[in-house]
Amino acid sequence: MSQTGKDIDVLIAGAGPVGLAAAIELGQRGIRCLVVERNDRVGYSPRAKTTNVRSREHLRRWGIADALRAASPIPPDYPSNVVFATRMNGPELARFGNALNGSRARNDLYSEEAQWVPQYVLEEVLRQHAASLPGVEIRFNTELASFADDGRDVVSRLKDVTSGAEREVASAYLIGADGARSSVREAIGARMEGEGAFSKNYNIIFRAPELASRHAHGPAIMYWMVNEEVPSLLGPMDSEGLWFFMATKLANDVDPASVDPVELIRRGTGLSDLQIEIVGRDPWVAHRLVADRYEKGRVFLAGDACHLHPPFGGFGMNMGIGDAVDLGWKLAAVLQGWGGSELLASYAAERRRVHERTIAEAVINYGAVGNQLVRPGLEEPGPLGDATRREVGEIIEATKLREFRTLGIVLGTRYEDSPIIVPDGSAPPVEHFMLYVPSAHPGCLAPHLWLADGSSLYDHFGQGFTLLATAGDGADATPLIATAARLGVPLKLLLPGDRRLPARYGTRFALIRPDQHVAWRGDALPADCEALLSIVTGRMKLDASIGIAATAA
């Protein structure tokens, strides 16, 4: 039995990246959870290829960033380039180096570079780690048939999809990480709102061992083919000849799925005799949708179950992992007794703004795909064609920059309006899609640094809260440490002694949450340390914090 007296603490519907990330976030905090998945394994959805900087930082915190790097079928030193060309055998139009911050060169802005790796590889690394945690169980071939929340617990009926056998499980909470067609979302009466069905798209997974040596554009993670016939993009899934191909919109609005896939790839690439083996096909439609509610009672939604958007920018899966982290540490805090009701209420308050901002960026990126970039005469030889290609190249460099230089979105997530963040009266940094300015403004991601010993500052944060004494002097921290111990709030005092930290954080102290966001900062601790900890752990409403905010400013 679990610590709650129920069969398990948290039931998670869905073993995709979001559900597995939630299981890890909970399991590493000693919370017993069960993940159920109707499929017989992970890895059925190969769409996502980018594990971005922030998701990789979570993997580092979980101790598996190196495991993903080692598991990748693409070498870790493979260049993170994005190439735009008319076709794979046609003229190059533009090129972006270090796209999505995939270079392994160390950068003080973050602790992990982005990684180009198929989603099914990430899922298997997450699965292995989740399954290794004592309190986590994963059951495949099992679907959530129904559930009932009586206010005290959630009783779920689970069905074995092979035998049809059913059983009931009681849990304290339920997380619906069951994707775009979420049955959990439907059951709690949440509705998706926004714009749907922008256009039909078509993903193809194929094997073509000769392709890498047949084209003229060098190694890259993505090749955008800008032409009137088959505007499309492709990229490697491994180093052995497995590729993905995505047709965006064909001439005369022909549905890409109605065309022979081999012919489609040959026409798009310009390699008319390329030997191709089709491995999989996946028609899909782009949406811009957000759920009108993220929770009801003891049931919560995460990932595609509560937000959908075009994939351009690589935000979707990574945003879902962020949901799992935000919800995971908060559920753990409540189950362990040191988190209050406001903590769970803050989940939707914090994540909705992130979703809306990120989705808006993805829609902007979707407005400049291959067919929107085509100009008459683009593939013509001679001076006219050269001039057209230069024009299109300049348009690409101006409009697509924001899709591949995204730190302002990826690391600029902030929760300054959250009910569990204590403001300090300062203005937050200006939001920008590309430029990320590290700031310890309450609600922002804690500014990162590589320390003199080669470690990341993040490596030294605690699993609970961390009180960072930026000047390396913790003499005045005793009242907060003692209060945290009395309240049962996990708190670590960190004294790195790096002379760059006071300027980077702007104050003497910074209280950092389990998810590495700043909850409070100040040059002196507030007189009422219990009130401060009560607010950031959701035990007290923020409107009672006027004195704390003034003291902290």
Residue range of the domain that includes 468: 414-552
170 phi and psi, to 5 degrees? -100, 130
With 80 as the cut, is the pLDDT of residue 57 above it?
A: yes
Confidence bin at 1 (pLDDT 50/70/90):
very low
Residue 252: the pLDDT is 66
Query: Tens digit of pLDDT for each residue in 469-494?
Result: 999 999 899 999 999 999 999 999 99
65 phi and psi, to 5 degrees? -65, -45
Q: What CATH number does the domain containing 439 carry?
A: 3.40.30.120
Least confident of 221-235, 305-319, 468-482, 532-546: 532-546
Average pLDDT score over the chain: 92
Mean pLDDT of 213-231: 94
Query: Is 3 a domain residue?
Result: no
Mean pLDDT of 268-277: 96
Query: Is 487 a domain residue?
Result: yes
Domain edge (last residue) among 364, 392, 426: 364
Per the structure, the count of domains in the chain is 3
Residue 387: the pLDDT is 97
* Residues 51, 31: Cα–Cα separation, whole Å: 26
Look at residue 156 and give its three-state secondary structure.
strand
With 70 as the cut, is the pLDDT of residue 282 above it?
A: yes
Query: Is 264 a domain residue?
Result: yes
Residue 201: the pLDDT is 73
Query: Is 58 a domain residue?
Result: yes
**122 and 112 co-located in one domain:** no
**92 and 221 co-located in one domain:** yes
SS3 content of the chain, % helix, strand, coil (to 5): 35, 25, 45
Tell me how many degrees the CA angle 121-12-29 measures, rounded to the nearest 5: 85
Q: What CATH number does the domain containing 21 carry?
A: 3.50.50.60
Is the distance from CB of 372 to CB of 399 less than 8 angstroms? Answer: no
**488 and 524 co-located in one domain:** yes
Query: Is 1 a domain residue?
Result: no
Residue 177: the pLDDT is 98
* Residues 387, 378: Cα–Cα separation, whole Å: 9
Residue 44: the pLDDT is 65
* Residues 294, 354: Cα–Cα separation, whole Å: 13
**386 and 468 co-located in one domain:** no
Mean pLDDT of 348-368: 88
Q: Is the dihedral of CA 541, 547, 548, 550 positive or negative?
A: positive
**133 and 230 co-located in one domain:** no
**332 and 349 co-located in one domain:** yes
**60 and 16 co-located in one domain:** yes
Domain edge (last residue) among 304, 334, 364: 364
Query: Tens digit of pLDDT for each residue in 398-412?
Result: 989 989 999 999 999
Task: State the pTM of this model.
Answer: 0.94
Query: Is 105 a domain residue?
Result: yes
**132 and 255 co-located in one domain:** no
Could you tell me what percent of the chain has a pLDDT over 90?
A: 81
Mean pLDDT of 52-73: 97
Confidence bin at 314 (pLDDT 50/70/90):
confident
**63 and 81 co-located in one domain:** no
**350 and 451 co-located in one domain:** no
With 50 as the cut, is the pLDDT of residue 221 above it?
A: yes
Residue 552: the pLDDT is 38
Confidence bin at 190 (pLDDT 50/70/90):
very high
Query: Is 167 a domain residue?
Result: yes
The DSSP bridge partners found for residue 154 are: 149, 171
Q: What CATH number does the domain containing 96 carry?
A: 3.30.9.10
Domain edge (last residue) among 336, 364, 392: 364
**131 and 270 co-located in one domain:** no
The DSSP bridge partners found for residue 492 are: 466
| Tokens 């490596």 belong to residue | 459
**182 and 33 co-located in one domain:** yes
Residue-level length of the chain: 553
With 70 as the cut, is the pLDDT of residue 55 above it?
A: yes
Query: Is 369 a domain residue?
Result: no
